Amino acid sequence: MKSVLIALALLAAAAGRAAAQPGYVPAPENIEARERFRDHRFGIFIHWGLYALLGDGEWAMHNKNIECGEYARLADAFCPSRFSAREWARAVREAGAGYLCFTSRHHDGFSLFDSDASGYNSADATPFARDAVGELAEACREQGLDLHLYYSHLDWSRSDYWPLGRTGHGTGRTGGGEWDSYLGFMESQLTELLTRYGPIGAIWFDGYWDRDEEPGGLEPERWNLYGQYELIHRLQPACLIGNNHHMNPFPGEDIQIFERDIPGENLYGYSEQDIGTLPLETCQTMNRSWGYRITDTDYKSTEELIRYLVRTAGMDANLLLNVGPRPDGSLPDQALERLRGMGRWLERYGESIRGTRGGVVAPHGWGVTTQRGNRLYVHVLDASDPRVFVPYGGNRLLSAVRMADGSAVRFTSTPEGVVLTLAGEPDPTDEIIVLTYKNEIE
């Protein structure tokens, strides 16, 4: 193993790039940022770019085999009359979320920031002529939100993204073995993102899987992954790195991402990875799409979304819930309504989610638990049986109360745990019982 690492380091050095991350020891400020991240428990994802104009999701270019030169003409029409970074940040704050993750550049290759490394960006190539990331950075600061930046490894427009991966074959890219130039381009952009906008909470990579059919296509050296990670941590040691590669985390990553699955589930098919020890995050759509899709009105209800957040917190993970703004920059009404509804719920019950950790009691048929200090929050999501057995003993239970109204809940302690007896009409969204113990819950 050691000789492999040395060989890799030599290879990287030969290519003029540092492969520093295998021995990665997170800086103290990074460790602190991880806890801050976990405390948030809830963030909002925003997918927005030229594709919004087509109203068919962020994969429209690939799905419709749009030639990249023609696709780029969308930039001439990118003039979102209702874009307001402030309104976005306010909506995220009102939802009770602690951070906003924004697509600084998606697979189509268009950057939503003023980039010297590529003129194909919102400030230089559009009548809009504004730096969306810059405006968001300021708005997030005003609202006390952390700003995370999604950044695509994959690019359907650049000819130096070569050899092609398995997507975007119909976009007319002509290649020429300039992979190193592509790596250099990404390094320049990452440097811009980490030096021009103040503290960045996280870089959220995506698209690494594009080369999974190529021998060695998922080797970190191929992507200079460790060089990128080293660069990010050098520029901002506290910046968290996550990569939606659907694999077990690579050294240098600070959070582990699950796509459309709560850790431990694999309903969507991308979550075969192990649950590791890094802070966890599940990203999920509010309807069925990430980028704006004009025909997609299949929104999950506010109650469903709240229950999803609760179940995610019960697995000790954050929920990154997506919104896809319209082409004019406004947030869809259905999304706003849900953000507000979740915010109202969190105002009342946020104590049982934010700042908590997944509870000592693993998820059961009746629901999940979260905990903080000497309090265990029992989230009863299925109250069909009014008697709920919470298998946690060895710590004296002082009180059990309904979070909704503070009324006492009957309980019987046994050495193995406690049996709660729910009375009255339990809240069908989430009936929360707060158990206060004598000692800190280990």
Residues near ligand GLC (CB under 6 A) are 47, 58-59, 206, 244, 259, 283, 290
Please state the closest distance from residue 64 (CB atom) to ligand GLC, in A. 15
Q: Are 375 and 398 in contact (CB under 8 A)?
A: no
Q: Please give the torsion angle defined by the CA atoms of residues 365, 367, 368 and 372, in that order, rounded to the nearest 10 degrees.
A: -140
Please state the closest distance from residue 310 (CB atom) to ligand GLC, in A. 21
Whether the bond between 163 and the residue before it is cis, its omega within 30 degrees of 0, is yes
Q: Of 225 and 420, which CB lies nearer to ligand GLC in the complex structure? A: 225
Task: Tell me the two tokens of residue 222.
Answer: 């191929």
Tell me the torsion sign for CA atoms 306, 308, 313, 319.
Answer: negative
Please state the closest distance from residue 121 (CB atom) to ligand GLC, in A. 18
Please state the closest distance from residue 442 (CB atom) to ligand GLC, in A. 34
Please state the closest distance from residue 259 (CB atom) to ligand GLC, in A. 5
Please state the closest distance from residue 106 (CB atom) to ligand GLC, in A. 6
Q: Are 133 and 113 in contact (CB under 8 A)?
A: yes
Q: Of 283 and 432, which CB lies nearer to ligand GLC in the complex structure? A: 283
Q: Of 47 and 402, which CB lies nearer to ligand GLC in the complex structure? A: 47
Distance CA 37, CA 281 (A): 10
Please state the closest distance from residue 47 (CB atom) to ligand GLC, in A. 6
Distance CA 72, CA 120 (A): 8
β-pairing verdict for 317-323 and 42-46: parallel
Q: Of 230 and 259, which CB lies nearer to ligand GLC in the complex structure? A: 259
Distance CA 126, CA 75 (A): 5
Q: Of 131 and 206, which CB lies nearer to ligand GLC in the complex structure? A: 206
| CB contact burial 402-423 (16+ within 10 A = b; e otherwise) | bbbeeeebebeeeeebbebebe
Closest CA to 51 of 397, 292, 321: 292
Q: Of 206 and 253, which CB lies nearer to ligand GLC in the complex structure? A: 206
Please state the closest distance from residue 112 (CB atom) to ligand GLC, in A. 13
Q: Of 189 and 284, which CB lies nearer to ligand GLC in the complex structure? A: 284
Closest CA to 167 of 150, 180, 178, 152: 152
Q: Of 97 and 283, which CB lies nearer to ligand GLC in the complex structure? A: 283
